[in-house]
Amino acid sequence: MRLFKTLFKKSNSLQSDESDILSAILRITNQDAHAKKDINLLGTATLLLNITEHPFFTDINSSLKELVKELFMPTIRTPLRGLKSDIYKSCWIIFENTNNRKMVADINSVSSYIANLGLGNNMTAAIFKGTIKNRSFYWICNYRTSKFYPLAPLANDMRDNELEMEIGNLLVSTGIPLEPHENWYSLSDIPI
């Protein structure tokens, strides 16, 4: 799946520590001494889907239960919750796991499952919650482009663009593919 490819490039294994992009993510989240920044992921992520007439979306919670059953519990180590949003006819699947590595693997498993249902184009983005210098931000993986960008929301639908630029520089310096800043679209009502 796109997220997996984006994060792990050609590797299908979680063992390739230094060569994949996940290790880059982990390097900066583990407070790399040279980065001098403290990005932390908070063990929460969400997968954003746009809703269509497909039965999967009729009762998203039942669909997720089915998904967990199909993928077998050992594969899914993450509690999943479905959440619908009416404004944009979209829904969110929420992942919670303090182990970021496992959480990424779980998002990939769920993404693959959904893609196998023929709903690959319904997946918009995976969103991770993080902090930098004790300020919250989201780390968005755009499934259309397989690239990442930061989103630092403030009150009243405002955004901290300067912080986003700072995070963007940090992301790209670790080799993570960064979305061009003209495509750093906002996302409102993120449920994590």
Partner 1 sequence: MTGLMLLMAYLALFGLLLISGMNPIFVFVIGIGMVLFQYFMSDKLVLKTTGAKAVTKEEQPKLHEMVERLSKIGGIPKPRTVAIMNMEAPNAFATGRSPKHATVAVTTGLLSKLNDGELEGVIGHELAHIKNRDVMVMTWASLIVVVAGFLMQMLFWMSLFGGFGGHRRQGNGGQAMAMMMVVYIGVIIIYFISQLLISTLSRYRELAADREGAIMTGSPTNLASALKKISGQIAQIPEKDLRQVEHANAFFIIPALQGNAIASLMSSHPPTEMRVARLIEMQKQNWHLLR
| Shortest spacing between CB 31 and partner 1, in angstroms | 16
Q: How far is the CB of 185 from partner 1 (least distance, A)?
A: 4
Residue 84 makes contact with partner 1 by CB under 8 A:
no
Instruction: Name the residue type at position 68.
Output: V
Task: Indicate which single residue of 120, 153, 175, 191 sits in contact with partner 1 (rule: CB under 8 A).
Answer: 175
Number of residues that bind partner 1 (CB under 8 A): 31
121-160 mask for partner 1 (x: CB under 8 A)? Answer: ---xx--------------x-x-x--------------x-
Determine, following the binding rule CB under 8 A, whether residue 11 of this chain makes contact with partner 1. no
Please say which residue, 71 or 119, places its beta carbon nearer to partner 1: 119
Binding of partner 1 at residue 21 (CB under 8 A)?
no
Nearest Cα to Cα of residue 138 among 6, 50, 49, 42: 42
Q: How far is the CB of 20 from partner 1 (least distance, A)?
A: 16
d(CA 149, CA 147): 7
Q: Please tell me the number of Cα atoms within 13 Å of 61 on its side-chain side.
A: 3
- Which range touches partner 1 (CB under 8 A), out of 38-46, 75-83, 129-137, 172-180? 172-180
DSSP readout, 96-108?
Answer: E-S-HHHHHHHHH
Told to check if 50 binds partner 1 by CB under 8 A, we report: yes
Residue from 136, 87, 111, 156 nearest 8 by CA:
111
What angle separates helix 100-114 from helix 60-71, to the nearest 10 degrees? 110
d(CA 44, CA 96): 5
Dist. CA 108–CA 103, nearest whole Å: 9
Nearer to partner 1, 136 or 161 (CB): 161
Taking CB under 8 A as the rule, does residue 75 contact partner 1?
no
